[in-house]
């Protein structure tokens, strides 16, 4: 009997152990990094962020899946498979590093093969990209215990540099309302730009935000919310050191604090992933950090390399040591350029003085008569063509230069004077006017577009209307059905009314023609002078054609000029 009890107890313990093992928490991570965009500007640090994050998360017992430079189909498949693996007790960790854009209040993550948009394809970007709200909803449906999103996509809007109408905000991402159970971290705040590197000498593998985050993730006993606050504070301080504003944002909707490394666990030594710029020194005490910040604020604007070198001597591994080294190199390079420019100016002055001396000597030998090089005199045609070409270059006329100065050329010169705020003595081409126009290297007259066009990126493009609307000749979008009704209403005018209108317009034209002919009619009156010869008075106006009576009382001969 006792043996049976022991066997049953042993079996119960085994089942309990198996049940607890089946319900144990799993840590799953999906890392996405895209550098090689096909139609957008290429990035430098995105893939490096993923590689460094993969090493860090594996050391924290995460099951990591990395996706490098995926297209839209590959990215959707990876997201679907990752969501299918998540269970109720799992911890999900998603890291995206690449291009992102905010459109209509929602954030969209751009795959490698996102097409280059053209005008009117705002919705196409939404369909081809991965919406962050949809992604959060997809992960919420898995029932995972906690879901962490790290979005390092707060860069410049790539669609602003594609030569088309701006799509989305100029930079940064928008705020997203995170439901319960989610923790979202952004590399920058609302509409802020995240730094990829600190300067041209920064050859580190990762971006500034990821460097700081990696140094905080493995701290024992530190909750994720506190990690996000410390990362925000340190990144903000580093960005201020180079005159940039970057304050990483995070949204905590977790029901309880999330600790990645338990209290008392041994912290893993950080890996060396690059030169000294990439190394993040341990955070000193608050008082020491404040002293270092004050010291740096005092010396960072100095133009003396020795002052910056004193900071490096005091804090060789400080937070601003890489910036100090870059600043010293820039100052030394600037000093060398200034010295070279000063030597060139001195040499030019010396040569000019020698030339003046030789010219003076020649003038003395020629009975103090200095030879003056004559200024070439342009012909009238060449002068007109030169002025017309400059007016066309400055955008004040669209006519080609033909060498004929007429009303169009005067109108163009008048436009130049009005928009350039220049007073001209006359609207005629002169040598002084040609010299004045030659030195102007920017457009003066604005671009003028017709009613059916609008100005976009320095050129006139045709206006577009919404579906179901048409563009009228005055440049107004009207409903297509309403325009059709108006046309049909005009077509239903009675034929008798149309004949009446046609008859009335014909009578009005005949009346105007008769009035014009009467105004041009002149009477030739023949008068007699003292000698009896007939004299023609061409200035006399005859009476009305209806009365047909002569103007003079003697009833002289009248000839009517019909």
The pLDDT, as a whole number, for residue 500 is 64
Q: Are residues 323 and 388 in the same domain?
A: no
Give me the residue label for tokens 């290297």. Answer: 441
Residues whose CB is less than 8 angstroms from the CB of residue 323 and which lie 6 or more positions away in sequence, other chains included: 198, 199, 241, 242, 300
Among 382-386, 485-489, 558-562, the range of highest mean pLDDT: 382-386
Give 492 or 320, the one with higher predicted confidence: 320
Put the strands of the sheet holding 182-186 in their side by side order.
Answer: 63-68, 27-33, 91-97, 146-152, 182-186, 250-252
The pLDDT, as a whole number, for residue 560 is 43
Burial 429-445 (b: 16+ CB within 10 A, else e): beeebbebbeeeeeebb
Find the mean pLDDT for residues 122-145.
85
The pLDDT, as a whole number, for residue 193 is 82
Q: Are residues 238 and 309 in the same domain?
A: no
| Tally of structural domains, the chain | 5
In the chain, % of residues over pLDDT 70: 71
Q: Are residues 291 and 143 in the same domain?
A: no
| Confidence label for 49 from pLDDT (cuts 50, 70 and 90) | very high
The pLDDT, as a whole number, for residue 315 is 81
Q: Is the pLDDT of residue 546 over 80?
A: no
**Can you tell me the distance from the alpha carbon of 37 to that of 114, in angstroms, rounded to the nearest whole number?**
8
Are β-strands 91-97 and 27-33 bridged in parallel, bridged antiparallel, or unpaired?
Answer: parallel
Q: Cα-Cα-Cα-Cα dihedral of 384, 389, 393, 397, to 10°?
A: 60
Q: Are residues 160 and 261 in the same domain?
A: yes
The pLDDT, as a whole number, for residue 165 is 30
Q: Are residues 192 and 303 in the same domain?
A: no
The pLDDT, as a whole number, for residue 63 is 94
**Can you tell me the distance from the alpha carbon of 349 to that of 383, in angstroms, rounded to the nearest whole number?**
35
User: In the structure encoding, which two tokens stand for residue 408, read together?
Assistant: 């169009």
Over residues 168-215, the pLDDT tens digits come to: 444 557 667 677 889 999 988 877 888 888 777 777 888 889 999 999
| Residue 367 falls inside a structural domain | no
Mapped onto helix, strand or coil, the DSSP state of residue 417 is: helix
Find the mean pLDDT for residues 384-388.
89
| Residue 372 falls inside a structural domain | no
| Confidence label for 276 from pLDDT (cuts 50, 70 and 90) | very low
Is residue 10 a contact partner of residue 74, using CB atoms and an 8 Å limit? no
| Residue 212 falls inside a structural domain | yes
Find the mean pLDDT for residues 11-18.
47
| Residue 539 falls inside a structural domain | yes
Cα R_g (the chain), whole angstroms? 42
Mean pLDDT of the chain: 75
Is residue 551 a contact partner of residue 540, using CB atoms and an 8 Å limit? yes
Q: Are residues 121 and 246 in the same domain?
A: yes
State which residues form the domain around 469: 453-457+463-491
| Residue 328 falls inside a structural domain | yes
Q: Are residues 152 and 80 in the same domain?
A: yes
User: In the structure encoding, which two tokens stand for residue 78, read together?
Assistant: 């990876």
Q: Is the pLDDT of residue 298 over 50?
A: yes
**Can you tell me the distance from the alpha carbon of 98 to that of 103, in angstroms, rounded to the nearest whole number?**
16
Q: Are residues 173 and 306 in the same domain?
A: no
Over residues 438-487, the pLDDT tens digits come to: 888 888 888 878 888 888 877 788 888 888 888 888 888 888 888 787 77
**Can you tell me the distance from the alpha carbon of 200 to that of 213, in angstroms, rounded to the nearest whole number?**
22
Q: Are residues 266 and 295 in the same domain?
A: no
Q: Cα-Cα-Cα-Cα dihedral of 319, 323, 325, 327, to 10°?
A: -150
Q: Is the pLDDT of residue 45 over 90?
A: no
Q: Is the pLDDT of residue 149 over 90?
A: yes
Q: Are residues 146 and 287 in the same domain?
A: no
| Residue 443 falls inside a structural domain | no
The pLDDT, as a whole number, for residue 309 is 80
Query: ∠ CA(183), CA(40), CA(442), 5° rounding?
Result: 120
The pLDDT, as a whole number, for residue 22 is 41
Q: Are residues 402 and 500 in the same domain?
A: no
The pLDDT, as a whole number, for residue 111 is 92
**Cβ-based burial of 12 (10 A; exposed 0-12, middle 13-18, buried ≥19):** exposed
Q: Are residues 126 and 104 in the same domain?
A: yes
Domain end: 324, 346, 368, which one? 346
The pLDDT, as a whole number, for residue 325 is 84
Q: Is the pLDDT of residue 1 over 60?
A: no
The pLDDT, as a whole number, for residue 376 is 60
For 53-65, what is the HEC assignment?
HHHHHHHCCCEEE
The pLDDT, as a whole number, for residue 270 is 46
Is residue 52 a contact partner of residue 94, using CB atoms and an 8 Å limit? no
H helix or E strand, kind and range, residue 281 = none
User: In the structure encoding, which two tokens stand for residue 509, read together?
Assistant: 């034209």
Among 65-74, 252-261, 264-273, 506-515, the range of highest mean pLDDT: 65-74
| Cα–Cα distance list, 281 to 51, 256, 270, 276, 491 (Å) | 20, 30, 10, 10, 83
Is residue 117 a contact partner of residue 59, using CB atoms and an 8 Å limit? no
Task: Give the number of residues written for the chain.
Answer: 562
The pLDDT, as a whole number, for residue 529 is 60
| Residue 388 falls inside a structural domain | yes
Is residue 246 a contact partner of residue 193, using CB atoms and an 8 Å limit? yes
Over residues 60-97, the pLDDT tens digits come to: 999 999 999 999 899 999 999 999 999 888 999 999 99
**Can you tell me the distance from the alpha carbon of 299 to that of 283, in angstroms, rounded to the nearest whole number?**
21
Give 37 or 532, the one with higher predicted confidence: 37
| Confidence label for 397 from pLDDT (cuts 50, 70 and 90) | confident
Find the mean pLDDT for residues 489-505.
64
Q: Is the pLDDT of residue 413 over 50?
A: yes
Q: Is the pLDDT of residue 56 over 80?
A: yes
Q: Is the pLDDT of residue 317 over 70?
A: yes
| Cα–Cα distance list, 177 to 104, 126, 318, 322 (Å) | 14, 19, 37, 37
The pLDDT, as a whole number, for residue 364 is 47
| Confidence label for 310 from pLDDT (cuts 50, 70 and 90) | confident
| Residue 375 falls inside a structural domain | no
**Can you tell me the distance from the alpha carbon of 170 to that of 3, in angstroms, rounded to the nearest whole number?**
76
């Amino acid at each position: 009997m006792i043996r049976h009890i022991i066997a049953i107890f042993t079996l119960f313990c085994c089942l309990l152990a198996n049940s607890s093992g089946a319900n144990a928490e799993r840590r799953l991570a999906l890392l996405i990094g895209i550098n090689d965009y096909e139609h957008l500007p290429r990035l430098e640090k995105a893939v490096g962020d993923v590689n460094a994050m993969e090493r860090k998360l594996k050391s924290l017992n995460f099951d990591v899946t990395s996706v490098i430079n995926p297209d839209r189909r590959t990215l959707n498949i990876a997201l679907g498979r990752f969501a299918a693996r998540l269970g109720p007790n799992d911890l999900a960790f998603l890291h995206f590093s690449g291009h992102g854009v905010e459109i209509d209040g929602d954030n969209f993550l751009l795959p490698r093969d996102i097409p280059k948009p053209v005008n009117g394809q705002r919705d196409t970007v939404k369909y081809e990209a991965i919406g962050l709200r949809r992604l959060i909803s997809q992960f919420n449906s898995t029932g995972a215990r906690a879901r962490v999103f790290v979005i390092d996509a707060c860069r410049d809007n790539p669609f602003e540099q594609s030569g088309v109408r701006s799509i989305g905000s100029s930079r940064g991402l928008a705020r997203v309302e995170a439901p319960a159970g989610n923790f979202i971290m952004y590399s920058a705040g609302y509409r802020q730009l995240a730094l990829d590197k600190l300067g041209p000498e920064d050859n580190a593998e990762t971006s500034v935000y990821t460097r700081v985050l990696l140094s905080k993730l493995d701290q024992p006993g530190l909750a994720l919310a506190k990690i996000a606050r410390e990362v925000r504070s340190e990144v903000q301080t580093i960005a201020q050191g180079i005159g940039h504003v970057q304050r990483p944002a995070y949204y905590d909707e977790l029901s309880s604090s999330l600790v990645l490394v338990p209290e008392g666990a041994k912290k893993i030594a950080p890996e060396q992933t690059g030169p000294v710029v990439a190394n993040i020194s341990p955070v000193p005490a608050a008082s020491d950090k404040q002293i270092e910040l004050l010291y740096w604020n005092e010396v960072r604007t100095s133009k003396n390399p020795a002052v910056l070198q004193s900071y490096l001597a005091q804090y060789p591994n400080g937070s601003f040591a890489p910036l100090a080294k870059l600043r010293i190199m820039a100052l030394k390079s600037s000093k060398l350029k200034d010295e070279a420019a000063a030597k060139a100016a001195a040499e030019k002055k010396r040569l000019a003085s020698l030339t003046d001396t030789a010219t003076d000597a020649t003038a003395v030998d020629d009975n103090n008569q200095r030879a003056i090089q004559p200024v070439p005199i342009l012909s009238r045609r060449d002068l007109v063509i030169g002025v017309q070409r400059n007016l066309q270059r400055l955008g004040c006329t669209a006519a080609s230069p033909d060498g004929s100065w007429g009303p169009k050329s005067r109108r163009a010169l008048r436009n130049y004077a009005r928009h350039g705020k220049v007073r001209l003595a006359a609207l005629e081409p002169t040598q002084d006017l040609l010299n004045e126009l030659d030195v102007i290297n920017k457009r003066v007259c604005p671009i003028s577009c017709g009613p059916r066009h609008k100005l976009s990126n320095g050129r006139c493009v045709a206006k577009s209307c919404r579906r179901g609307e048409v563009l009228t000749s005055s440049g107004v979008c009207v409903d297509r059905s309403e325009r059709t009704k108006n046309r049909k209403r005009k077509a239903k005018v009675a034929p008798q009314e149309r004949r009446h209108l046609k008859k009335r317009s014909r009578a009005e034209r005949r009346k105007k023609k008769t009035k014009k002919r009467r105004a041009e009619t002149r009477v030739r009156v023949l008068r007699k002078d003292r000698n009896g010869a007939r004299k023609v008075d061409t200035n006399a106006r005859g009476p009305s054609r209806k009365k047909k009576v002569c103007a003079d009382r003697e009833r002289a001969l009248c000839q009517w000029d019909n």
